Amino acid sequence: MYIELIAVVVALLSFGDESFAQTQYNLKVVEDVTLERGSKNFNYLEYLIVGLHPDYPKKRSLLRFENLPNGSSSHTDAEAPFIARTIQAHRVLKSWKETQATSTKRDSSKYWSTQWLGLDNTDAKSISTGVTTIYPGQPKGFVGIGVTSAVKDWKAGYPNYGLVIWATNENIVGRDTRFASKSESDSSKHPYIVVSCFGSTGGGGGGGGNTDAPTLPTDDFHSF
């Protein structure tokens, strides 16, 4: 068995300089895919995977979200021990297609600078936007990683190519960590970003905010 998680990302944006009113947006995932080998696209999976599982290559995963609005084999515990996985998210710097992306290719004709993306300001930013740790025995539920800097960059006009998530100990064999993807039949488990925007109350109507999301600490990427 494996740990199943869903992703929610919370980011804080501050606008205005006087009195503030909060508007909350839920940004749905629009593309996601697990990257494993260079010869196969895994867009059909109902989960996103990071880490290194026995007898399989290591994996990282890509996710891209909506823009802000204008205005499987089994193993014993000895063979595949449960280990803590520290997960980082980095803003992706190049375009990709979820139906074509692999560990070596962004789409059918363009390659990543190195397999699983170069986290050196070539394919993705070298500095992570946030980090969290998944521990052995942790129950299913929301976990989080901050993406404030990435969302601020997208709002400032940088292209929204999404995020790559990976485990810092991805070369250590153990149970991999799985997050529900947008192919998961239960849409309540799909990844999304919750953005709390604070703007001046004197500047016309805001509107459009979705307040149905769970109350979460700001600056966290959460997963079920």
Spatial separation of the C-alpha atoms in residues 37 and 202, rounded to whole Å: 53
Q: What is residue 153's three-state secondary structure?
A: helix
Per-residue pLDDT tens over the stretch 57-105 = 999 999 999 987 776 445 566 666 788 999 999 999 999 999 999 999 9
- What counts of helices (H) and strands (E) characterise the chain? 1, 11
Give mean pLDDT, residues 159-183.
91
**pLDDT at res. 196:** 74
Domain ranges of the chain: 3-70+79-222
d(CA 67, CA 74): 39
